[in-house]
Copies of this chain bind each other. A is one copy, B any other.
Amino acid sequence: MIAVLKQGTDEKRTEGLIAWFKGLGLDVHVSKGKYNTVLGLVGDTQKVDIELLEGLDIIESVKRISEPYKSANRKFHPMDSVIEITPDVKIGGGNFQIMAGPCSVESEAQIVDIAKRVKAAGATILRGGAFKPRTSPYAFQGLREEGVKLLETAKRETGLPIVTEIMSAGHLQYFENVDIIQVGARNMQNFDLLKELGKTDKPILLKRGLSATVKELLMSAEYIMAGGNNDVILCERGIRTYETVTRNTLDISAVPVLREQTHLPVIVDPSHAVGIARFVKPMALAAAAAGADGLMIEVHNDPPHALSDGAQSLTPEQFADTAAAVRRILSERDES
């Protein structure tokens, strides 16, 4: 960590600050320039509050050199993490998985039918919303625990592992037979929920918040890992920008950036990002080309009657076409 003192800071206050840092167990290297004095802090700076420092009136600026995340940091775990969902389905380290299914689980017939069709088309994990975060309290809130049970039925019928979103730690009891627990973008910084998930032994799919930085996403992963659960899958799903022609702006550059900074698997959800079915395929191909470890794609048997997010769902036929094109891109990517 580097702290730059303001021009003209007097000697005595500088000494006081240095003493304070030393009191925290840090080594302090002083570099006096013509205009500024710079303090280099070495040691366990993890718990130093950077905002507090920036608030001191003798400080010009503070910069953290080492990242404040540890468990998620590739520096300390150079190899890709490989997360085992089931003995047959792993993600990360060269294992690419496609999660597909409807935005909302609506009925047994619907979810079982879609599950069979996405499996036939190349999906390896079934997704479906049971507890639904909706902007409006008057909108359909999902079938909730009943929805999770229907997903379990579809799992029994097809053998596909299932992933579904949790909205409150109070619902954990319903997720016992769920293979991957999803944390949605709106809850990425619901720290109490993250802490509870850190105590479970289930893989967690953590979606990037609407205006979360890559670093904040990694810090939220760190919350889960700090509790002892290292099986975190990160998901880029579009960020909020000034551009409204797509629902969000899919930040595909986050894929190579995350893959450099962390050993955790990184997947992409193009459906929520663009919000328009006909742009899902090109963005799925782009994500695969950029190095993602997987995709999450919304598929519906009958888009116009979906209870939510119909606009962004593919038909099973469109999904099959997309999945096949993705596999072709992967075959080229892996040669590169």
Q: Which of A291, A313, A331 has the most CB of B within 10 A?
A: A291
Question: B243 touching A213 by the CB < 8 A rule?
Answer: yes
A191 cross-chain contacts in B, Cβ below 8 A: 133-134, 137, 167, 186
Q: Does A22 contact B (CB under 8 A)?
A: no
Question: A283 touching B290 by the CB < 8 A rule?
Answer: yes
With A33-B29, A65-B61, A244-B244 known as contacts, the answer to whether A56 contacts B310 (CB < 8 A) is: yes
Q: Does A143 contact B (CB under 8 A)?
A: no
Residues from 287 to 336 in A contacting B, C-beta threshold 8 Å? 287-291, 303-304, 306-313, 321, 325, 328-329, 331-333, 335-336
A211 cross-chain contacts in B, Cβ below 8 A: 210-211, 240, 242
Question: A283 touching B33 by the CB < 8 A rule?
Answer: no
Residues from 39 to 72 in A contacting B, C-beta threshold 8 Å? 40-43, 46-47, 49, 51-56, 60-61, 63, 65-66, 68-69
A251 cross-chain contacts in B, Cβ below 8 A: 241, 243, 249-250
Question: A189 touching B63 by the CB < 8 A rule?
Answer: no
Question: A242 touching B242 by the CB < 8 A rule?
Answer: yes
Which label, helix, strand, loop or mixed, suits the secondary structure of the A interface?
Answer: mixed
Contact among B35, B213, B243 with A239 in the assembled complex (CB-CB below 8 Å): B243
Question: A287 touching B286 by the CB < 8 A rule?
Answer: yes
Q: How far is the CA of A69 from the CA of B60 in the complex (A)?
A: 17
Q: Does A153 contact B (CB under 8 A)?
A: no
Q: Does A219 contact B (CB under 8 A)?
A: yes
Chain B min CB distance to A293 (Å): 13
Q: Does A139 contact B (CB under 8 A)?
A: yes
Q: Does A169 contact B (CB under 8 A)?
A: yes
How many copies of this chain does one complex carry? 4
Contact among B34, B40, B242, B253 with A274 in the assembled complex (CB-CB below 8 Å): B253
Contact among B31, B210, B245 with A38 in the assembled complex (CB-CB below 8 Å): B31
Question: B241 touching A242 by the CB < 8 A rule?
Answer: yes
Residues from 1 to 51 in A contacting B, C-beta threshold 8 Å? 2, 4, 7, 27, 29, 31-36, 38, 40-43, 46-47, 49, 51
A329 cross-chain contacts in B, Cβ below 8 A: 289, 329, 332-333
Provide the A218-240 mask, 1 if CB < 8 A to any CB of B, else 0.
01001100100000000000011
A257 cross-chain contacts in B, Cβ below 8 A: 245-246, 279
A139 cross-chain contacts in B, Cβ below 8 A: 47, 49
The residue of chain B having its C-beta at the shortest distance from the C-beta of A70 within the complex is B138
Question: A55 touching B304 by the CB < 8 A rule?
Answer: yes
With A34-B43, A52-B308, A243-B213 known as contacts, the answer to whether A133 contacts B189 (CB < 8 A) is: yes
A246 cross-chain contacts in B, Cβ below 8 A: 253, 257
The 3 nearest A-B residue pairs measured at CB: A55-B311, A211-B211, A289-B289
- A residues sitting closer than 8 Å to B (CB atoms) are 2, 4, 7, 27, 29, 31-36, 38, 40-43, 46-47, 49, 51-56, 60-61, 63, 65-66, 68-69, 75, 133-140, 167-170, 186-187, 189-193, 195, 210-211, 213-216, 219, 222-223, 226, 239-246, 249-257, 260, 273-279, 282-283, 285-291, 303-304, 306-313, 321, 325, 328-329, 331-333, 335-336
